[in-house]
Amino acid sequence: MPTSVLIANCTFSASRASGIIIQSNNVIIRNTTIASVSSAGIDVGGYYHSFSESPFSSNLLLEHNFIQDVGRGHRTIVPGQTWGRNAAAIRMAGDAQFPNATSLHSNIVVRNNTLHVAATSVRGQPQHALDVMATTKLQILENFYFYPRTNDGGVLCKGVDGGEQPVRLSHCTDVVQRGNVCCEGDGTNCTAC
C-alpha cells in the first residue's frame, strides 16, 4: 500500500479532543499509544459533520496500538445523534446528510490493537471499542478489548447497549471480524467476541 501518512512509535495524551484525526487516504498508524483524550482515540473522518473538514478515508492500517481512557469529555455522544454517536477507542464517522451510505470509508484494517474501554462516557452513554459507520472492505482482526467489571460482577463486553458486542457497525459491507478477544480490565475472564 502506498503510504501518505505514517504515524509510528508515538504517544498522544491529555487532549481535549481526539487523539488522532485521520482526514487522508493511505494512512498507517502503528505501535502508538493514545491515552486520556476527551473524544475518540482514533477518529476516522474527523469532524466532517461539524466543521465541514476533509471527509472520508480509504486504505488505512491501524495496528499494534494501545488506546485507553478515551471519551471522557465534551465531544461524547448526544442521545439521538446518528452520524457521530460516541467517543469509541476507534471511530469511523458517517455523514448526517447520507445516513444510509455504505461506502464512505473503504479498505480499512484494524489489527492487533489493545483497546481499554470505559464503561460509560462522561454523559453516561455506553462506550464501544470500535464504532464504525458507512465502511466497506473492513477487517477487524486479533484485537483485545478490555472493559471494567459491571456492578453485578460481570464483564460489560456483551452488555453494551443491551447486548451488542464491543464493536458497533452501522451500514457497513464486506466486513471480516476474526480472532478478537474481550477481557475484564485486569486481563481475566476473557472471551472471544
Encode 14-80 in three state secondary structure. EECCCCEEECCCCEEEECCEEEEECCCCEEECCCHHHHCCCCCCEEEEEECCEEEEECCCCCCCCCC
CA separation for the pair 21, 44 (Å, rounded)? 6
Single-letter residue type at 11: T
Confidence at residue 34, expressed as pLDDT on a 0 to 100 scale:
96
Say if residues 166 and 157 touch (Cβ distance below 8 Å): yes
pLDDT digit string, tens, across residues 129-164? 888 888 899 999 999 988 765 544 444 455 444 444
pLDDT digit string, tens, across residues 39-94? 889 988 755 555 555 568 899 999 999 999 887 664 444 444 433 445 689 988 77
pLDDT digit string, tens, across residues 170-182? 888 999 999 998 8
Confidence at residue 75, expressed as pLDDT on a 0 to 100 scale:
44
User: Between 20 and 85, whose confidence is greater?
Assistant: 20
Mean of pLDDT values over 105-128 = 78
CB neighbour list of residue 90: distance below 8 Å, 6 or more residues apart: 40, 41, 42, 44, 62, 67, 110, 113, 115, 129, 130, 131, 132
Q: How many residues does the chain have?
A: 193
Model confidence at 26: pLDDT above 80: yes
Mean of pLDDT values over 109-134 = 77
Model confidence at 183: pLDDT above 60: yes
User: What are residue 158's phi and psi, to 5 degrees?
Assistant: -100, 10
C-alpha cell at 103: 461506502
Q: Residue 97 — pLDDT band, cuts 50, 70, 90?
A: low
Q: Residue 120 — pLDDT band, cuts 50, 70, 90?
A: low
